[in-house]
A and B are shown apart, each in its own frame.
Chain A
Amino acid sequence: MPLFSQLYNFAHWLTQDRSEAEDLVQETYVKALRGFSGFQQGTNFRAWMYRILRNTFLTSRSGSKASATRPLEEEDQEQLPATEETPESIFIASSQKEMLQNALAELPVPFREILLLCDFEEMSYQEISDTLGIPAGTVMSRLSRARRALRLTLSKKLKV
């Protein structure tokens, strides 16, 4: 099954829970089968599947909680302070895989998911835009804010 492992990995990152991730993936495939007639040939199949998964997550209990408790990025435009850590120390932190995984898990869902789509799935900005249903310009600004937030989270962990 193409995409199965990646979709599962993505679902587990979103839900942070194995059984919720399994429910989410299962529901995604069920919806995909049911809605396949609505899938337009020539559009991006991967983005379509991720979009179903993500929309299913957002309407689930933990998903709506995750998106409700986090401010949307456009609203907290300037709330991220610049990091004072040097690039070297950030690099040391990011090379510690577990610390980076914890930092990613702590990010608000909109930041976590866009980093996964860009750096793990290596989606183009257009694919990310199709998946998340946001304009391409927002993809760019959200990505740079997500990366800044990740650096900030890492530099906080370095100080502890």
Chain B
Amino acid sequence: MADEFTSKLDAYLDGELAAADMKALDAHVRACPACAADVLGRVQMKRAIKSASQRYEPRSEFRAKIERRLKPRAGFPKDPLYFRLAGIAKHRIYVARWPPHLP
């Protein structure tokens, strides 16, 4: 059965309650079988959504196209966004080529 805690269960599981509320909810869930079952269902649903929503992979051609577009051009070679956007890409290429081929 729903009680005054039910409406807070999502925020509780999302870690969005203030510390005092979090503690109160913890204690309540341990003592209330209805909320405990509810929490279990919600946790499973959250996990299921997380796994189901990883669904679409970009095509590698598309990734390459965007990387080309983000290459520094004359004008903004030191654009900080470029470095933020491209930093990991460079790192990935480096890692992908590791270990370096020795002559």
- Residues in chain A within 8 A of chain B (CB atoms): 1-2, 4-5, 8-9, 12-13, 18, 21-22, 25-26, 29-30, 32-33, 36, 39, 45, 87, 90-91, 94-95, 97, 100-101, 104, 115-116, 118-120, 122, 124-125, 140, 143-144, 147, 150-151
Instruction: Verify A39–B63 contact, CB threshold 8 A.
Output: no
- Residues in chain B within 8 A of chain A (CB atoms): 7, 10-11, 14-16, 37-38, 40-42, 44-46, 48-59, 62-63, 65-67, 69-70, 76, 79-82, 84-89
Shortest CB distance B2–A (Å): 10
* B88 contacts across to A, CB distance below 8 A: 1-2
Residue in A1, A21, A36, A140 with the greatest tally of chain B CB atoms within 10 Å: A1
Q: How distant is the Cα of A4 from the Cα of B4 in the complex, in angstroms? A: 41
Instruction: Verify B41–A120 contact, CB threshold 8 A.
Output: no
3 nearest A-B residue pairs (beta carbon): A12-B56, A87-B41, A36-B81
Q: Taking A1-B63, A5-B58 as given, write out 5 further A-B residue pairs in contact, using a Cβ cutoff of 8 Å, ordered by the A residue number.
A: A2-B88, A9-B56, A143-B10, A143-B14, A144-B7
Count: A-B pairs, CB below 8 Å: 121
Residue in B37, B67, B81 with the greatest tally of chain A CB atoms within 10 Å: B81
B interface secondary structure, majority: helix
* A22 contacts across to B, CB distance below 8 A: 58-59, 62
Instruction: Verify A118–B66 contact, CB threshold 8 A.
Output: no
Q: How distant is the Cα of A150 from the Cα of B88 in the complex, in angstroms? A: 35
Q: How distant is the Cα of A151 from the Cα of B44 in the complex, in angstroms? A: 12
Q: Which of A32, A91, A100, A118 contacts B52 (CB 8 A)?
A: A100
Task: Write the chain A residue with the least CB distance to B2.
Answer: A82
Shortest CB distance B102–A (Å): 30
Shortest CB distance A124–B (Å): 7
Instruction: Verify A115–B58 contact, CB threshold 8 A.
Output: no
